[in-house]
Amino acid sequence: MFSKVLIANRGEIAVRVIRACRDLGVGTVALYSELDHDALHVRLADEAYALGGQTAAESYLNTDAILDVIERSGADGVHPGYGFFSENADFARAITERGVTFIGPPPEAIEVMGDKISARTAAEEVGVDGVPGTTDLITDPAQVRAFGEEHGYPIAIKAAYGGGGRGMKVVADESAIEASIDSAQRESLAYFGREEIYMERYLVAPRHVEVQVLADAHGNAVYLGDRDCSAQRRHQKLIEEAPAPDLPDDLRRAMGEAAVQVALGCGYTNAGTVEFLVEDGAYYYLEMNTRLQVEHPVTELVTGVDLVEQQLRVASGEPLAFTQDDVTVTGHAIEVRLNAEDPAEGAFLPSPGRIDGLKVPDGYGIRFDGGYEAGDEVSQFYDNLIGKLVVWGHDRDVAIRRTLRALDETVVDGVATTIPVDRAILEHPDFAAATHSTKWVEETLDLTGVRCEVSASDDGEPTIRRDLGVEVDGRRFSVSMWVPDQAAAAKRRRSSRAGGAGGSGDGSVTVPMQGTIVKVLVAVGDAVEAGDAICVLEAMKMENNIVAEASGEVTEVRVAPGDSVGSGDIVAVIG
């Protein structure tokens, strides 16, 4: 087992890994950006080191700074969490070259699965089929036309180096082929810097079912049941559950065994997830995620297996202590992601800020995996996942009711949360009947009136305990003190925050949050109306239209696709 593990991440997943290490008597090393100098993961770790910087690129993605801390701390293992460097083969190699263990799969497996075409080929080689499609790159519209004649429409054109649905275009009929190829290539180039594309038949309303796998370095691999993640919008999962409801036993078993074959076929070790689409009683392999996933706790609650403990054991060379026959699934588990976002009737507006109050639910069958406590700040620079409510019940109906009960007990003051939309999903008869697909939240769920007002905590405490970080020579030590709670007082005075795109009334169009410009929709000289989209900003894995506040002529365009912008930056000026 490791003696000291460095967690190359932040927020709830860093907290989750630190807790697992503590359970095993393994020392923990946290990293922090300037904004996170006093974050929960930093307070919980045995040691913490400064990376500097504010944005992810300046901090949690700063390879040199992280490698330097690995060396200084003497860590013998690195857990990447999810996101950041978790699926970066170069990072895994750089760590391994320094004699430190990457707590994840071999870099070769990350590479095979990072390229969607080789990921498809790898599955085909072990007899696991994807959606009918090809592993050829599209170089000529005639290929798509021929595919349409054989398999029919719609067809999905996908980015070979894509992910998260970006670069994917649905071709409804023959007339749309050329335009779809163009826009898939353009989007793919903007997001991933590569324009290779391929195609598959497009499934219109599938369910997203994924299988958790775990493999050791001695050739043993098991699957730990499945999860349904169909309740999502714009590729952001809202609610996940295990097991996937209403799957025939033989299909479930076949999918589990297929997942294990895919893992063994690419030399996989550690925890991983094989994604499938399920439609009309058939399953189709989609891709493999070579990391621990956000929704892993639902699998833990129904199997009793601590996945992070297993990751640490497998990475330190231990063989799996159980076989497939030992794995059982008991009851039902549901995870609700609590994001600092106002559902705003479907607009999902980010709501960063200080969490003035946080009361998490408790009681039988309840687990809360949080990354923040009251007094902590949710920054616009990072993922705004506050925490995850994970609930177990002896069957799905019990789990749904208990999740609603737990949400009733949950209080978050100071930032808006996605709780109202979670409630709308959990109370809906379609969700109860498990007839929902990946399209359901966007196309069927009515979000009229579903919003979250920012509530202010009303306790009159004049002081608050702050566990402050004192940094000495780039290493963090903590000191507790009681200080006047000025931020809470200021927040109480402040009126409710404005959401969406902003402007200053002088014709400048600004962005409301940090992100990347993926498309510019106007040019100097264009006439625009109030409400017209000026550009598309990608932030927190979502595309946001930045709109003009007033009508007029575009006199300046200050951004181009690929530019990084910060909150308040001017993208264009309307004269």
Beta bridge partners of 476: 48, 471
Are 136 and 172 in contact by the 8 Å Cβ rule? The answer is no
3-class DSSP state of 402: helix
Which residue, 203 or 213, is less far from ligand MV4 as judged by CB? 203
Shortest distance, CB of residue 240 to ligand MV4, whole angstroms?
A: 11
Measured in whole angstroms, the distance separating CA 196 from the mean position of its chain's CA atoms is 24
Instruction: Give the sign of the dihedral formed by CA 510, CA 514, CA 516, CA 519.
Output: negative
Shortest distance, CB of residue 14 to ligand MV4, whole angstroms?
A: 25
Residue 476 engages ligand MV4 in binding (rule: CB under 6 A): no
Footprint of ligand MV4 on 210-239 (CB under 6 A):
232, 235
Measured in whole angstroms, the distance separating CA 396 from the mean position of its chain's CA atoms is 24
Which residue, 165 or 219, is less far from ligand MV4 as judged by CB? 165
Residue 203 engages ligand MV4 in binding (rule: CB under 6 A): yes
Site string for ligand MV4, 172-201 (x = CB under 6 A): ----------------------------xx
- Segment interacting with ligand MV4 (CB under 6 A) among 86-94, 164-172, 295-303, 317-325: 164-172
Are 395 and 422 in contact by the 8 Å Cβ rule? The answer is no
Which residue, 70 or 286, is less far from ligand MV4 as judged by CB? 286
Which pair of structure tokens corresponds to residue 372? 């923040």
Are 274 and 226 in contact by the 8 Å Cβ rule? The answer is no
Which residue, 156 or 294, is less far from ligand MV4 as judged by CB? 156
Which residue, 205 or 264, is less far from ligand MV4 as judged by CB? 205
Report the alpha-carbon distance of residue 388 to residue 229 in Å, rounded: 14
Residue 165 engages ligand MV4 in binding (rule: CB under 6 A): yes
Shortest distance, CB of residue 3 to ligand MV4, whole angstroms?
A: 38
Residue 4 engages ligand MV4 in binding (rule: CB under 6 A): no
Beta bridge partners of 520: 535
Q: How many residues lie near ligand MV4 (CB under 6 A)?
A: 17
Which residue, 180 or 438, is less far from ligand MV4 as judged by CB? 438
Site string for ligand MV4, 280-299 (x = CB under 6 A): ------xx------------
The CA dihedral of 50, 372, 478, 379, to the nearest 10 degrees, is 40
Which residue, 205 or 464, is less far from ligand MV4 as judged by CB? 205
CA-to-CA dists, residue 202 to 19, 151, 464, angstroms: 42, 10, 54
Footprint of ligand MV4 on 62-91 (CB under 6 A):
none
What are φ and ψ of residue 442, in 5° steps? Answer: -75, -35
Which pair of structure tokens corresponds to residue 159? 């980015």
Question: Could you give the count of Cα atoms lying within 13 Å of 482 in the half-sphere of its Cβ?
Answer: 3
In this structure, which amino acid lies at residue 270? N
Residue 202 engages ligand MV4 in binding (rule: CB under 6 A): yes
Site string for ligand MV4, 355-394 (x = CB under 6 A): ----------------------------------------
The CA dihedral of 95, 99, 101, 106, to the nearest 10 degrees, is 70
Which pair of structure tokens corresponds to residue 413? 């003051």
Shortest distance, CB of residue 335 to ligand MV4, whole angstroms?
A: 15
Query: Which run of H or E residues covers position 489?
Result: helix 486-493
Pairing of strands 515-520, 564-565: antiparallel
Which residue, 204 or 321, is less far from ligand MV4 as judged by CB? 204
Site string for ligand MV4, 428-447 (x = CB under 6 A): ----------x---------
Which residues in this chain contact ligand MV4 in the complex, by CB under 6 A? 131, 156, 164-165, 168, 200-203, 206, 208, 232, 235, 277, 286-287, 438
